[in-house]
Amino acid sequence: MRESILERRLVREVKRVGGLAPKWVSPGNRGVPDRLVILPNGRTVYVEMKAPGKQLDPLQVRWAKKLLGLGHQHYKIDSNEDIDRFIAEVMPK
């Protein structure tokens, strides 16, 4: 499965639960996560999309550590199961 297919599904699922998942482009800051997931109730989560089985590259790992160190949530998603788990974890019951 291609990363782009997973990314479209993530955007669709986030929209279904009332959120937004715009692409994040930050000129001069290589390695930032692919998507800012903006959820109801003022919650924002950072998501890096990868093709199935692919790992984060070193710049992406550095960004993930920075964000986590600042108290933000960061997810790496590379499967439909990851998308389902992500939605279940970030949406209140």
Work out the average pLDDT over 61-86: 97
Residue 1: pLDDT band (50, 70, 90) is confident
Does residue 92 surpass a pLDDT of 90? no
Q: Look up the pTM and report it.
A: 0.93
Taking the domains of the chain in order of start, what are their residue ranges?
3-90
Q: Around Cβ 59, how many Cβ atoms within 10 Å?
A: 12
C-alpha distances in Å from residue 86, one per residue of 26, 28, 30, 50: 24, 28, 24, 14
Fold of 3-90: Trna Endonuclease; Chain: A, domain 1 (3.40.1350)
Residues 4-54: pLDDT tens digits? 999 999 999 999 999 999 999 999 999 999 999 999 999 999 999 999 999
pLDDT of the residue at 93? 62
Residue 91: pLDDT band (50, 70, 90) is confident
